[in-house]
Amino acid sequence: MKTGDKQINCIAFDCGNSSFRTMLGRFNGKSLFMEVVDQVSHDAIEINGLYYWDILKIFEGLKQGLKKANQVVDKIDSVGICTWGIDFGFLDKNGYLLANPLSYRNSIGEEVISSLSDQEKRWMFDQTGIQNNRINSIYQLEGIKRKMPGLFGIAERCLLIPDLLNYFFTGEICTEFSIASTTQILDVRSKNYSKGVMDRFGYADSLFPSLQKHGSVIGNIRKSIVEELHIPSCKVICVPSHDTACAVTAVPAEEENFIFISSGTWSLLGTELQEPNLDEMVYLRDYANEGGVLDSITLLRNLTGMHIFQQIKKELFIEGRKYTWDELIQIAENYQGKISYFDTNCYDLFNPTSMISAIMNLIKESDGTLGQVLASSFYSLAYMYRLAINQIEEITGNSYEHIYIVGGGSQNTLLNQLTANLTGKTVISGPTEATSYGNIGVQLMGQVDNFYLEDIREMVRQSESIKTVYPDPNRDISLIESEYLEFLKCL
Protein backbone atom coordinates (compact mmCIF):
# COMPACT_ATOMS: atom_id res chain seq x y z
CA MET A 1 0.00 0.00 0.00
CA LYS A 2 1.21 3.50 -0.79
CA THR A 3 0.46 6.77 0.95
CA GLY A 4 2.56 8.88 -1.37
CA ASP A 5 5.30 9.04 1.28
CA LYS A 6 3.22 11.36 3.42
CA GLN A 7 1.29 11.04 6.64
CA ILE A 8 -2.47 10.96 6.23
CA ASN A 9 -4.45 12.69 8.98
CA CYS A 10 -8.05 11.65 9.49
CA ILE A 11 -10.71 12.55 12.04
CA ALA A 12 -13.26 10.08 13.35
CA PHE A 13 -16.21 11.67 15.08
CA ASP A 14 -17.37 8.93 17.47
CA CYS A 15 -20.73 9.71 19.07
CA GLY A 16 -22.03 7.37 21.74
CA ASN A 17 -24.93 7.49 24.17
CA SER A 18 -22.87 9.00 27.01
CA SER A 19 -20.21 11.07 25.22
CA PHE A 20 -19.04 12.22 21.81
CA ARG A 21 -15.40 12.37 20.84
CA THR A 22 -13.06 13.75 18.24
CA MET A 23 -10.44 11.13 17.43
CA LEU A 24 -7.38 12.07 15.37
CA GLY A 25 -5.68 9.28 13.48
CA ARG A 26 -2.28 9.64 11.79
CA PHE A 27 -1.50 6.91 9.27
CA ASN A 28 2.10 6.27 8.16
CA GLY A 29 1.40 3.55 5.62
CA LYS A 30 1.54 0.70 8.13
CA SER A 31 0.11 1.66 11.49
CA LEU A 32 -2.30 4.25 12.82
CA PHE A 33 -1.48 6.51 15.75
CA MET A 34 -4.76 7.42 17.43
CA GLU A 35 -5.42 10.09 20.02
CA VAL A 36 -8.44 11.65 21.67
CA VAL A 37 -8.46 15.33 20.75
CA ASP A 38 -11.69 16.16 22.54
CA GLN A 39 -14.39 14.38 24.52
CA VAL A 40 -17.68 15.83 25.77
CA SER A 41 -20.19 14.09 28.02
CA HIS A 42 -23.84 14.15 27.09
CA ASP A 43 -27.04 12.32 27.91
CA ALA A 44 -30.65 12.19 26.85
CA ILE A 45 -32.70 15.00 28.40
CA GLU A 46 -36.16 14.34 29.84
CA ILE A 47 -38.85 16.91 29.05
CA ASN A 48 -42.52 16.33 29.76
CA GLY A 49 -42.09 12.56 29.99
CA LEU A 50 -40.03 12.14 26.81
CA TYR A 51 -36.26 11.84 26.35
CA TYR A 52 -34.49 13.97 23.71
CA TRP A 53 -30.94 14.25 22.37
CA ASP A 54 -29.38 17.72 22.30
CA ILE A 55 -28.19 17.48 18.70
CA LEU A 56 -27.07 21.12 18.63
CA LYS A 57 -24.75 20.54 21.58
CA ILE A 58 -23.30 17.53 19.78
CA PHE A 59 -22.80 19.45 16.53
CA GLU A 60 -21.19 22.42 18.29
CA GLY A 61 -18.94 20.05 20.25
CA LEU A 62 -17.81 18.29 17.07
CA LYS A 63 -17.08 21.64 15.43
CA GLN A 64 -14.83 22.57 18.34
CA GLY A 65 -13.19 19.16 18.15
CA LEU A 66 -12.47 19.78 14.49
CA LYS A 67 -10.88 23.12 15.37
CA LYS A 68 -8.71 21.53 18.07
CA ALA A 69 -7.58 18.78 15.69
CA ASN A 70 -6.46 21.43 13.21
CA GLN A 71 -4.27 22.86 15.94
CA VAL A 72 -2.51 19.49 16.37
CA VAL A 73 -1.62 18.78 12.74
CA ASP A 74 -1.02 21.02 9.75
CA LYS A 75 -3.71 19.48 7.57
CA ILE A 76 -6.76 17.28 8.05
CA ASP A 77 -7.26 15.08 5.00
CA SER A 78 -10.75 13.78 5.77
CA VAL A 79 -13.51 13.35 8.34
CA GLY A 80 -15.95 10.51 9.01
CA ILE A 81 -18.95 10.43 11.35
CA CYS A 82 -20.43 7.45 13.16
CA THR A 83 -23.02 7.30 15.94
CA TRP A 84 -25.50 4.97 17.57
CA GLY A 85 -28.29 3.74 15.32
CA ILE A 86 -32.05 4.14 15.06
CA ASP A 87 -32.64 7.74 16.23
CA PHE A 88 -33.38 10.51 13.76
CA GLY A 89 -34.37 14.13 13.25
CA PHE A 90 -36.78 15.83 10.84
CA LEU A 91 -36.15 18.60 8.31
CA ASP A 92 -38.90 20.78 6.87
CA LYS A 93 -39.31 21.59 3.18
CA ASN A 94 -36.68 24.34 3.44
CA GLY A 95 -34.10 22.07 5.07
CA TYR A 96 -34.48 23.44 8.60
CA LEU A 97 -34.32 21.20 11.66
CA LEU A 98 -37.80 20.88 13.18
CA ALA A 99 -36.96 19.58 16.66
CA ASN A 100 -34.33 17.80 18.70
CA PRO A 101 -34.36 14.06 17.97
CA LEU A 102 -36.17 11.78 20.38
CA SER A 103 -34.21 9.05 22.15
CA TYR A 104 -34.87 5.35 21.63
CA ARG A 105 -35.09 5.10 25.45
CA ASN A 106 -38.67 6.35 25.22
CA SER A 107 -41.55 3.89 25.43
CA ILE A 108 -43.39 5.03 22.30
CA GLY A 109 -41.83 2.24 20.24
CA GLU A 110 -42.97 -0.37 22.73
CA GLU A 111 -46.52 0.94 22.50
CA VAL A 112 -46.48 0.49 18.72
CA ILE A 113 -44.80 -2.89 18.47
CA SER A 114 -47.05 -4.40 21.13
CA SER A 115 -50.04 -3.61 18.94
CA LEU A 116 -48.74 -5.78 16.07
CA SER A 117 -49.85 -9.38 15.63
CA ASP A 118 -47.35 -12.23 15.37
CA GLN A 119 -48.11 -12.43 11.66
CA GLU A 120 -47.37 -8.71 11.19
CA LYS A 121 -44.08 -9.00 13.06
CA ARG A 122 -43.01 -11.95 10.93
CA TRP A 123 -43.97 -10.04 7.78
CA MET A 124 -41.79 -7.11 8.88
CA PHE A 125 -38.81 -9.43 9.31
CA ASP A 126 -39.39 -11.06 5.92
CA GLN A 127 -39.55 -7.65 4.26
CA THR A 128 -36.35 -6.28 5.77
CA GLY A 129 -34.20 -9.02 7.33
CA ILE A 130 -34.19 -6.99 10.55
CA GLN A 131 -35.55 -8.39 13.79
CA ASN A 132 -38.45 -6.57 15.39
CA ASN A 133 -37.30 -4.39 18.26
CA ARG A 134 -39.18 -1.68 20.10
CA ILE A 135 -36.28 0.71 19.52
CA ASN A 136 -36.14 0.38 15.72
CA SER A 137 -36.78 3.60 13.79
CA ILE A 138 -39.98 2.28 12.22
CA TYR A 139 -41.67 1.97 15.60
CA GLN A 140 -40.32 5.31 16.80
CA LEU A 141 -41.72 6.93 13.63
CA GLU A 142 -45.11 5.38 14.17
CA GLY A 143 -45.06 6.50 17.80
CA ILE A 144 -44.36 10.07 16.70
CA LYS A 145 -47.23 9.90 14.19
CA ARG A 146 -49.54 9.00 17.08
CA LYS A 147 -48.19 11.35 19.74
CA MET A 148 -47.00 14.27 17.60
CA PRO A 149 -49.06 14.30 14.40
CA GLY A 150 -48.33 18.00 13.87
CA LEU A 151 -44.58 17.40 13.84
CA PHE A 152 -44.80 14.41 11.53
CA GLY A 153 -47.19 16.27 9.25
CA ILE A 154 -44.66 18.98 8.34
CA ALA A 155 -41.61 16.71 8.15
CA GLU A 156 -40.21 16.50 4.62
CA ARG A 157 -37.01 14.54 5.31
CA CYS A 158 -36.07 12.01 7.99
CA LEU A 159 -32.34 11.88 8.71
CA LEU A 160 -30.70 9.43 11.09
CA ILE A 161 -28.29 10.97 13.61
CA PRO A 162 -25.06 10.60 11.58
CA ASP A 163 -26.86 11.69 8.41
CA LEU A 164 -28.13 14.76 10.25
CA LEU A 165 -24.60 15.62 11.41
CA ASN A 166 -23.20 15.06 7.90
CA TYR A 167 -25.89 17.44 6.63
CA PHE A 168 -24.98 20.07 9.22
CA PHE A 169 -21.31 19.86 8.21
CA THR A 170 -21.67 19.63 4.42
CA GLY A 171 -25.21 20.59 3.39
CA GLU A 172 -25.55 17.24 1.60
CA ILE A 173 -28.39 14.81 2.33
CA CYS A 174 -27.59 11.09 2.10
CA THR A 175 -27.34 7.94 4.18
CA GLU A 176 -25.50 4.61 3.94
CA PHE A 177 -26.20 0.90 4.31
CA SER A 178 -25.29 0.21 7.93
CA ILE A 179 -27.23 3.04 9.57
CA ALA A 180 -30.18 2.76 7.18
CA SER A 181 -30.58 -0.91 8.09
CA THR A 182 -31.33 0.05 11.72
CA THR A 183 -34.61 1.65 10.61
CA GLN A 184 -36.21 -1.73 9.78
CA ILE A 185 -37.47 -0.03 6.63
CA LEU A 186 -34.55 -1.01 4.38
CA ASP A 187 -34.50 -4.42 2.67
CA VAL A 188 -30.98 -5.68 3.38
CA ARG A 189 -31.09 -7.99 0.36
CA SER A 190 -31.75 -5.32 -2.27
CA LYS A 191 -30.26 -2.44 -0.23
CA ASN A 192 -33.32 -0.39 -1.16
CA TYR A 193 -36.16 0.74 1.05
CA SER A 194 -38.84 -1.93 1.18
CA LYS A 195 -41.79 -0.86 -0.95
CA GLY A 196 -44.01 -3.15 1.11
CA VAL A 197 -43.06 -1.43 4.38
CA MET A 198 -43.24 2.05 2.84
CA ASP A 199 -46.73 1.36 1.48
CA ARG A 200 -47.89 -0.39 4.65
CA PHE A 201 -47.08 2.65 6.81
CA GLY A 202 -47.78 5.34 4.24
CA TYR A 203 -44.31 6.83 3.85
CA ALA A 204 -43.40 8.96 0.84
CA ASP A 205 -40.31 7.88 -1.11
CA SER A 206 -38.80 11.33 -0.55
CA LEU A 207 -38.87 11.00 3.27
CA PHE A 208 -35.68 8.93 3.44
CA PRO A 209 -32.38 9.80 1.69
CA SER A 210 -30.62 7.64 -0.88
CA LEU A 211 -27.68 5.41 0.03
CA GLN A 212 -24.07 6.35 -0.71
CA LYS A 213 -21.12 3.96 -1.08
CA HIS A 214 -18.53 3.52 1.67
CA GLY A 215 -15.35 5.42 0.93
CA SER A 216 -17.03 7.96 -1.34
CA VAL A 217 -16.95 11.70 -0.66
CA ILE A 218 -20.15 13.14 0.80
CA GLY A 219 -18.96 16.71 0.43
CA ASN A 220 -16.66 19.35 1.84
CA ILE A 221 -17.04 21.13 5.17
CA ARG A 222 -19.36 24.11 4.63
CA LYS A 223 -17.65 27.39 3.82
CA SER A 224 -19.44 29.08 6.73
CA ILE A 225 -17.95 26.55 9.20
CA VAL A 226 -14.48 26.88 7.71
CA GLU A 227 -14.68 30.66 8.09
CA GLU A 228 -16.13 30.48 11.60
CA LEU A 229 -13.43 28.12 12.87
CA HIS A 230 -10.58 29.62 10.83
CA ILE A 231 -9.55 26.21 9.52
CA PRO A 232 -8.73 24.79 6.07
CA SER A 233 -11.51 22.98 4.26
CA CYS A 234 -11.51 19.17 4.14
CA LYS A 235 -13.72 16.43 2.76
CA VAL A 236 -16.26 14.34 4.65
CA ILE A 237 -16.18 10.64 3.71
CA CYS A 238 -19.03 8.15 3.76
CA VAL A 239 -18.09 5.52 6.36
CA PRO A 240 -20.23 2.82 8.01
CA SER A 241 -21.96 5.39 10.18
CA HIS A 242 -23.53 2.90 12.58
CA ASP A 243 -20.92 2.54 15.30
CA THR A 244 -21.39 -1.25 15.45
CA ALA A 245 -20.55 -1.64 11.76
CA CYS A 246 -17.46 0.54 12.20
CA ALA A 247 -16.37 -1.51 15.20
CA VAL A 248 -16.77 -4.80 13.30
CA THR A 249 -14.67 -3.32 10.48
CA ALA A 250 -11.80 -3.09 12.97
CA VAL A 251 -12.08 -6.59 14.47
CA PRO A 252 -8.44 -7.80 14.32
CA ALA A 253 -9.37 -11.25 13.01
CA GLU A 254 -7.27 -13.09 10.46
CA GLU A 255 -9.77 -15.92 9.99
CA GLU A 256 -12.77 -15.50 7.70
CA ASN A 257 -15.38 -16.72 10.20
CA PHE A 258 -15.35 -15.16 13.65
CA ILE A 259 -17.59 -14.17 16.55
CA PHE A 260 -17.52 -10.54 17.63
CA ILE A 261 -18.91 -8.65 20.60
CA SER A 262 -19.01 -4.90 20.14
CA SER A 263 -19.11 -4.05 23.81
CA GLY A 264 -20.42 -0.68 24.93
CA THR A 265 -23.76 0.54 26.25
CA TRP A 266 -25.12 -2.37 24.23
CA SER A 267 -23.38 -5.66 23.53
CA LEU A 268 -23.83 -6.40 19.84
CA LEU A 269 -22.89 -10.05 19.45
CA GLY A 270 -22.69 -11.68 16.06
CA THR A 271 -20.71 -12.75 13.03
CA GLU A 272 -19.89 -11.30 9.63
CA LEU A 273 -21.61 -12.70 6.52
CA GLN A 274 -21.51 -11.85 2.84
CA GLU A 275 -25.25 -12.40 2.35
CA PRO A 276 -28.21 -11.97 4.72
CA ASN A 277 -29.72 -15.03 6.40
CA LEU A 278 -33.51 -14.94 6.77
CA ASP A 279 -33.98 -18.55 7.82
CA GLU A 280 -36.63 -19.51 10.34
CA MET A 281 -33.99 -20.09 13.00
CA VAL A 282 -32.69 -16.52 12.64
CA TYR A 283 -36.16 -15.14 13.24
CA LEU A 284 -36.96 -17.42 16.16
CA ARG A 285 -33.59 -16.74 17.84
CA ASP A 286 -34.14 -12.96 17.60
CA TYR A 287 -31.23 -12.13 15.28
CA ALA A 288 -30.98 -9.27 12.77
CA ASN A 289 -29.16 -8.89 9.47
CA GLU A 290 -27.72 -5.41 9.88
CA GLY A 291 -25.69 -3.63 7.23
CA GLY A 292 -21.93 -3.94 7.51
CA VAL A 293 -18.87 -2.49 5.82
CA LEU A 294 -18.68 -2.72 2.00
CA ASP A 295 -22.11 -4.36 1.65
CA SER A 296 -21.36 -7.15 4.13
CA ILE A 297 -23.91 -8.31 6.71
CA THR A 298 -23.46 -8.34 10.47
CA LEU A 299 -25.74 -11.11 11.69
CA LEU A 300 -26.17 -10.11 15.31
CA ARG A 301 -28.26 -10.03 18.41
CA ASN A 302 -28.74 -6.86 20.41
CA LEU A 303 -27.93 -7.58 24.06
CA THR A 304 -27.96 -5.23 27.00
CA GLY A 305 -24.32 -4.53 27.82
CA MET A 306 -22.49 -1.93 29.88
CA HIS A 307 -25.78 -0.02 30.25
CA ILE A 308 -26.44 -2.07 33.40
CA PHE A 309 -23.14 -1.06 35.00
CA GLN A 310 -23.25 2.52 33.70
CA GLN A 311 -26.62 3.01 35.38
CA ILE A 312 -25.45 1.40 38.62
CA LYS A 313 -22.37 3.64 38.69
CA LYS A 314 -24.48 6.73 37.93
CA GLU A 315 -27.01 5.81 40.64
CA LEU A 316 -24.28 5.35 43.24
CA PHE A 317 -22.69 8.66 42.23
CA ILE A 318 -26.00 10.49 42.76
CA GLU A 319 -26.14 8.92 46.23
CA GLY A 320 -22.67 10.29 46.96
CA ARG A 321 -20.92 6.92 46.59
CA LYS A 322 -18.19 7.58 44.03
CA TYR A 323 -16.62 4.44 42.59
CA THR A 324 -14.16 3.96 39.75
CA TRP A 325 -14.77 1.15 37.26
CA ASP A 326 -11.86 -0.80 38.78
CA GLU A 327 -13.38 -0.48 42.25
CA LEU A 328 -16.76 -1.79 41.05
CA ILE A 329 -15.07 -4.75 39.37
CA GLN A 330 -13.14 -5.44 42.58
CA ILE A 331 -16.36 -5.42 44.62
CA ALA A 332 -17.84 -8.00 42.25
CA GLU A 333 -14.70 -10.17 42.36
CA ASN A 334 -14.58 -10.06 46.17
CA TYR A 335 -18.20 -11.17 46.55
CA GLN A 336 -18.34 -14.70 48.02
CA GLY A 337 -22.07 -15.23 48.45
CA LYS A 338 -24.80 -16.67 46.27
CA ILE A 339 -24.80 -15.69 42.59
CA SER A 340 -28.33 -15.18 41.31
CA TYR A 341 -29.09 -15.13 37.59
CA PHE A 342 -31.47 -12.98 35.58
CA ASP A 343 -32.38 -12.13 32.00
CA THR A 344 -30.11 -9.20 31.16
CA ASN A 345 -32.40 -8.31 28.24
CA CYS A 346 -35.47 -8.02 30.47
CA TYR A 347 -37.52 -4.91 29.62
CA ASP A 348 -37.43 -3.95 33.33
CA LEU A 349 -33.77 -2.98 32.78
CA PHE A 350 -34.40 -0.86 29.67
CA ASN A 351 -34.60 2.50 31.46
CA PRO A 352 -35.47 1.96 35.14
CA THR A 353 -35.55 4.71 37.75
CA SER A 354 -33.20 2.54 39.84
CA MET A 355 -31.10 -0.12 38.11
CA ILE A 356 -30.04 -1.59 41.46
CA SER A 357 -33.65 -1.99 42.62
CA ALA A 358 -34.68 -3.44 39.26
CA ILE A 359 -31.97 -6.11 39.47
CA MET A 360 -32.83 -6.91 43.10
CA ASN A 361 -36.42 -7.46 42.02
CA LEU A 362 -35.31 -9.82 39.26
CA ILE A 363 -33.09 -11.87 41.57
CA LYS A 364 -35.70 -11.68 44.36
CA GLU A 365 -33.29 -10.20 46.89
CA SER A 366 -34.85 -7.16 48.54
CA ASP A 367 -31.81 -6.67 50.80
CA GLY A 368 -29.06 -7.83 48.43
CA THR A 369 -25.65 -6.22 48.69
CA LEU A 370 -23.92 -4.18 46.01
CA GLY A 371 -21.47 -7.06 45.60
CA GLN A 372 -24.30 -9.50 44.90
CA VAL A 373 -25.92 -7.15 42.39
CA LEU A 374 -22.65 -6.60 40.53
CA ALA A 375 -21.47 -10.22 40.59
CA SER A 376 -24.90 -11.50 39.50
CA SER A 377 -24.90 -8.96 36.67
CA PHE A 378 -21.48 -9.99 35.39
CA TYR A 379 -22.27 -13.70 35.50
CA SER A 380 -25.69 -13.24 33.92
CA LEU A 381 -24.25 -11.19 31.06
CA ALA A 382 -21.48 -13.73 30.42
CA TYR A 383 -24.02 -16.56 30.34
CA MET A 384 -26.15 -14.49 27.93
CA TYR A 385 -23.06 -14.25 25.71
CA ARG A 386 -22.73 -18.03 25.85
CA LEU A 387 -26.35 -18.53 24.87
CA ALA A 388 -26.05 -16.14 21.91
CA ILE A 389 -22.82 -17.77 20.71
CA ASN A 390 -24.42 -21.22 20.88
CA GLN A 391 -27.29 -19.89 18.80
CA ILE A 392 -24.98 -18.41 16.14
CA GLU A 393 -23.14 -21.70 15.86
CA GLU A 394 -26.49 -23.43 15.41
CA ILE A 395 -27.62 -20.90 12.77
CA THR A 396 -24.40 -20.86 10.72
CA GLY A 397 -23.26 -24.43 11.25
CA ASN A 398 -19.81 -23.08 12.12
CA SER A 399 -17.73 -23.66 15.23
CA TYR A 400 -15.73 -20.69 16.46
CA GLU A 401 -12.54 -20.91 18.53
CA HIS A 402 -12.22 -17.22 19.31
CA ILE A 403 -14.48 -14.45 20.60
CA TYR A 404 -13.30 -10.98 19.56
CA ILE A 405 -14.44 -8.33 22.03
CA VAL A 406 -13.95 -4.77 20.82
CA GLY A 407 -15.00 -1.36 22.10
CA GLY A 408 -14.88 0.24 25.53
CA GLY A 409 -16.26 -2.86 27.27
CA SER A 410 -13.26 -4.88 26.09
CA GLN A 411 -11.32 -3.29 28.96
CA ASN A 412 -13.49 -5.09 31.52
CA THR A 413 -11.09 -7.80 32.69
CA LEU A 414 -13.64 -9.60 34.86
CA LEU A 415 -16.21 -9.91 32.10
CA ASN A 416 -13.55 -11.02 29.62
CA GLN A 417 -12.36 -13.80 31.93
CA LEU A 418 -15.90 -14.89 32.79
CA THR A 419 -16.75 -15.02 29.08
CA ALA A 420 -13.72 -17.24 28.42
CA ASN A 421 -14.48 -19.48 31.41
CA LEU A 422 -18.20 -19.90 30.79
CA THR A 423 -17.95 -20.44 27.02
CA GLY A 424 -14.70 -22.41 26.98
CA LYS A 425 -13.44 -20.22 24.14
CA THR A 426 -10.45 -17.93 23.85
CA VAL A 427 -11.29 -14.25 24.19
CA ILE A 428 -9.31 -11.72 22.19
CA SER A 429 -9.92 -8.22 23.53
CA GLY A 430 -9.25 -4.95 21.79
CA PRO A 431 -9.05 -2.51 20.30
CA THR A 432 -11.00 -0.33 22.69
CA GLU A 433 -11.22 2.32 19.95
CA ALA A 434 -12.56 -0.14 17.37
CA THR A 435 -15.24 2.26 16.13
CA SER A 436 -12.69 4.96 15.34
CA TYR A 437 -10.27 2.47 13.78
CA GLY A 438 -13.03 1.22 11.48
CA ASN A 439 -14.15 4.75 10.70
CA ILE A 440 -10.66 5.93 9.73
CA GLY A 441 -9.87 2.65 7.98
CA VAL A 442 -12.71 3.21 5.52
CA GLN A 443 -11.62 6.83 5.03
CA LEU A 444 -8.16 5.55 4.07
CA MET A 445 -9.59 3.22 1.41
CA GLY A 446 -10.16 6.23 -0.82
CA GLN A 447 -6.72 7.73 -0.15
CA VAL A 448 -4.31 4.77 -0.13
CA ASP A 449 -3.60 2.56 -3.13
CA ASN A 450 -4.70 -1.08 -2.81
CA PHE A 451 -6.10 -0.65 0.71
CA TYR A 452 -8.85 -3.14 1.49
CA LEU A 453 -10.77 -4.55 4.46
CA GLU A 454 -8.02 -7.06 5.27
CA ASP A 455 -5.56 -4.15 5.28
CA ILE A 456 -7.70 -2.27 7.81
CA ARG A 457 -7.60 -5.29 10.12
CA GLU A 458 -3.85 -5.71 9.62
CA MET A 459 -3.43 -2.00 10.43
CA VAL A 460 -5.30 -2.58 13.70
CA ARG A 461 -3.04 -5.51 14.59
CA GLN A 462 0.02 -3.36 13.86
CA SER A 463 -1.30 -0.41 15.86
CA GLU A 464 -2.84 -1.90 19.01
CA SER A 465 -1.83 -4.19 21.82
CA ILE A 466 -4.41 -6.97 21.50
CA LYS A 467 -4.87 -9.11 24.62
CA THR A 468 -5.68 -12.81 24.71
CA VAL A 469 -7.67 -14.34 27.58
CA TYR A 470 -7.78 -18.13 27.92
CA PRO A 471 -10.32 -20.16 29.90
CA ASP A 472 -9.06 -20.97 33.39
CA PRO A 473 -7.81 -24.59 33.17
CA ASN A 474 -8.88 -25.12 36.81
CA ARG A 475 -12.49 -23.97 36.31
CA ASP A 476 -15.19 -26.37 37.49
CA ILE A 477 -16.85 -27.33 34.19
CA SER A 478 -19.61 -29.41 35.78
CA LEU A 479 -20.53 -26.47 38.04
CA ILE A 480 -20.55 -24.12 35.05
CA GLU A 481 -22.90 -26.44 33.18
CA SER A 482 -25.34 -26.63 36.08
CA GLU A 483 -25.22 -22.84 36.55
CA TYR A 484 -25.88 -22.33 32.83
CA LEU A 485 -29.01 -24.49 33.07
CA GLU A 486 -30.10 -22.41 36.07
CA PHE A 487 -29.55 -19.23 34.04
CA LEU A 488 -31.64 -20.55 31.14
CA LYS A 489 -34.58 -21.01 33.51
CA CYS A 490 -34.61 -17.23 34.09
CA LEU A 491 -35.30 -16.40 30.45
* Contacts within 8 Å (CB) and 24+ apart, 35-38: 35/72, 37/11, 37/65, 37/68, 37/69, 37/72, 38/64, 38/65, 38/68, 38/69
The alpha-helical segments, DSSP class H, found in 230-345 are 243-249, 280-284, 307-318, 325-334
Q: Give the span between the Cα atoms of 430 and 77, in whole angstroms.
A: 26
Residue 74 buriedness (CB in 10 A; 0-12 / 13-18 / 19+): exposed
Catalytic residue flag (residue 199)? no
Half-sphere exposure of 13 (CA within 13 A, CB side): 29
| Active-site annotation holder among 87, 243, 279, 472 | 243
Q: Phi, psi (5° rounding) for residue 415?
A: -65, -40
Query: What is the DSSP code (8-state) at residue 409?
Result: G
Cβ distance 143 to 108 under 8 Å?
Answer: yes
Please enumerate in sequence order all residues whose Cβ is within 8 A of that of 336, keeping only pairs 6 or more positions apart, or say none: none
Phi-psi region of 438 (alpha: psi -120 to 50; beta: other; left: phi over 0): alpha
The alpha-helical segments, DSSP class H, found in 202-241 are 223-229
Cβ distance 406 to 246 under 8 Å?
Answer: no
Active site residues: 243
